[in-house]
Structure 1
Amino acid sequence: MAYLTVGVDHDRTPVELCYEDYGHGRPVVLLHDWPLSRHMWAAQVPALVEAGYRVVAYDRRGFGDSSRPWDGYGYDGLVTDLRAVLERLKLSEVTLVGAGMGAAEIVRYLTRYGTAGVRRVVLVGAALPYLYRSYDNPRGPWAPERFDRLKAGLTVDRFAMLDAYATRMFRAGERVLLSDPHRDHYRAQGAAASPRALDAGLTTMARSDLRGEVAIPLPTLVIHGEHDDIIPFAVTGERIGDSAVEVIQGAPHGCQATHPLRFNRTLLRFLADGR
């Protein structure tokens, strides 16, 4: 575990991102979902390192062990942090792997900075292209009342809200596919985030319109759980431009945790195709 300075807060306090950097070979950078941390990739890091890749996983600002500034939670600010990670660690020929909100960060990064230095893209349960349902986005999966309920839950009792959300991440139909101790691990990740980051990050994830940005000019793999009811495939992953698609049968939103062997095989096969 190490820290990398990516900027300063409004009071000139350094903003530092906590990251882990393992292995050697072509780099893979892992971007976590809201409201989690780099620890969501616990089942993927060893498999990637053992397959001969350099793996970098970091905590988004305000989450995990990173600094907790007040600002910078829009996608433009977050991709500035990603740019700093790639530059400071001198990473090139990178595969970017993002889950949920992290997938949307990747799309905005490519829009803002282009494809230089990026080789491939993997989008997992992607919060794309636009979650918020409105008159001009009738296919958005998050109705205004759902978004308002999540926002209110963060204010009234964020721990109860995060508990319910973490359970839903791993539910397929009526079955919850992770043990209670394993879900406790994910609940703790959400609880560790700053309240400001949770609130601002939720708004960014729901209200950012990336419909004009999802024609990705790189080899792209979309991985999605069949039973993802947080970000349903039919109105999110299926709407991403020209890409390879793997829908994991029987899996919920958090498919990297509930179906790690299938997930890892799919990811490693895609990476190997680009060697």
Structure 2
Amino acid sequence: MPFITNKSGKESVDIFYEDYGKGQPVILIHGWPLSSKAWEQQRWKLVEEDYRCIAYDRRGFGRSSAPWNSYDYSSLASDLNELINQLDLEDVVIVGFSMGGGEVVRYLTNYGSNKISKAALVSSIIPLVKQKDDNPNGVPEEDIQGILDALQSNRVSFLKDFHKNFYNYEDNKDKITEQNLHYDWQIASNASPRATIQAAIAWADTDFRPELENVDVPTLIVHGDADNIVPIETSGNQAAKSIANNRFEIIKNGPHGLNLTHADELNTILIDFLKS
């Protein structure tokens, strides 16, 4: 199985990735608390459209190794940087889903856009999840703390119900089955408990607003207007106002997990952006 090893931090980390197709490289960065398997409905389409599709497991998730510490966004972005360098990639498109949007922005902040041609933020946490005086539509502190407490006390039970809200399950039973929910639960519950909590702290606490000026490549922003996990008011709407060169697509009735519920619509938008 293919791995790259990132030795740049305090601990050596092995990052699992899968690499299919030929052509311009498109790197898919998954959301929390899943793995690269979440991109199943996008991978085949990218390869079919003659792109080189690379998806990797964030440290602590999937088949990547799980250090005890270093789940801050600079550490996570260093894994992306090592992947790009060790695979000798150029003209790369980086696509971040949910938490993965943070790696996109932090990579551009820390490493620049010399090797990046475009970026995409899908159901992304960018720029800020937490509610603050100047971010009134964010998620309240007590709700975030409730998530962290539940992860600490009974992680697998919390994760069992989490994805119902992820997909707005009651409204999308024609698109999401109980088997889909169980599949996600299996992936999420097998992630490192420590990584699951520390990564949640990273996406909850990091304010990317000062970094949006570093996103200097054409950027696609896709968000559902029914996202109950990352409200569009605190994410897509703000990102579209602050990223200079962006294309903002709102998917009607799209939940957070629109990469599955609205896969065809997302794929059409993504491919059109790549070819534009």
Q: Take 1:121 and 1:8, find their aligned partners in 2: how far apart are those partners? A: 24
Match in the other structure for 1:3: 3
CA contact (8 A) 1:130 1:140 kept: no
**Whole-Å separation in 2 of the counterparts to 1:258 and 1:76:** 31
SS in 1 for 2:228: coil
Match of 2:35 among 34, 37, 41: 37
| Counterpart among 156, 159, 183 of residue 185 in structure 1 | 183
- Native 8 Å contact 2:93 2:116 kept in 1: yes
- RMSD of equivalent CA atoms: 1.5
1:104 matched residue in structure 2: 102
CA distance in 2: counterparts of 1:8 and 1:69, whole angstroms: 13
Match of 2:272 in 1: 269
Output the CA distance in 2 between the equivalents of 1:105 and 1:164. Answer: 26
Report if aligned partners of 2:172, 2:261 keep a CA contact under 8 Å in 1.
Answer: no
Segments of structure 2 that go 5 or more residues without pairing to the other structure are: none
Please, what TM-score do these two structures have when normalized by structure 2?
0.94
**Gaps in structure 1 of 5+ consecutive residues:** none
Secondary structure of 1:165's partner? helix
Q: What is the CA deviation profile of residues 97-148 of structure 1, one whole-angstrom value per residue up to 9, with x for unaligned ones?
A: 000110111001101111110000000011111111134x332521011011
C-alpha distance in structure 1 between counterparts of 2:64 and 2:112, whole Å: 26
Q: Secondary structure at the match of 1:132?
A: coil
Structure 2 matches for 1:111-150, cutoff 5 A?
A: 111-135=109-133, 137-150=134-147
Matched, 1:225 2:221: no
- Where does residue 236 of structure 1 map in the other structure? 235
Residue identity (%): 34
Q: Is the 8 A contact 1:3 1:17 kept in 2?
A: yes
Q: Which residue of structure 2 lines up, in the alignment, with residue 159 of structure 1?
A: 156
In structure 2, relative to structure 1, the CA distance for the partners of 1:172 and 1:185 (3 Å cut) is closer
d(CA) in 2 for partners of 1:209 and 1:79? Answer: 15
Contact 1:22 / 1:54 at 8 angstroms: preserved in 2? yes
Q: Distance in 2 between matches of 1:8 and 1:2?
A: 19
In the alignment, which of 9, 15, 18 is matched to residue 16 of structure 2?
18
Please tell me whether residue 256 in structure 1 is matched to residue 238 in structure 2.
Answer: no
Structure 1 counterpart SS, 2:104:
helix
Deviation at 1:221, TM superposition (A): 0.5
* TM-score normalised over the length of structure 1: 0.94
- Contact 2:90-2:115 within 8 A present in 1 as well: yes
Structure 1 residue 67 displacement after superposition: 0.3
